[in-house]
Amino acid sequence: MNQKEAESLILDLWDEQKNPWEKGDHRAFYNEAQRFYLYLETNHPDLLTFRCVGDKWQTVKGWINDHENYPHC
């Protein structure tokens, strides 16, 4: 799976699975993104088969940050 395919599928799943957090609550946002990534590792490891340089967690977190228009933290 290439990165663009993975990004689209992961963000669709994120929209279905995410729990709400207070705007500006960086810790809650980070915790929710991390919870979601662990969910992917356990339940959808096929979505994490894309190739990337570096840590896939950081890549997915960046996608989520951009998708939510949330500042990178």
Position of tokens 């894309």? 50
Across 10-15, average pLDDT: 96
- Closest residue by Cα to residue 1 from 36, 52, 42: 52
Distance, CA of 63 to CA of 73 (rounded, Å): 12
Supply the pLDDT for residue 44.
Answer: 97
Q: What angle do CA 30, 57, 5 make, to 5 degrees?
A: 115
The highest-confidence range among 25-34, 51-60, 64-73, by mean pLDDT, is 51-60
Does the pLDDT at position 28 exceed 90? no
pLDDT at 37: 97
Q: Are 10 and 52 in contact, with CB atoms under 8 Å apart? A: no
Predicted pLDDT at 40: 97
Phi, then psi, of 49 in degrees rounded to 5: -90, 0
Please tell me the pTM assigned to this model.
0.89
Domain boundaries, the chain: 3-67
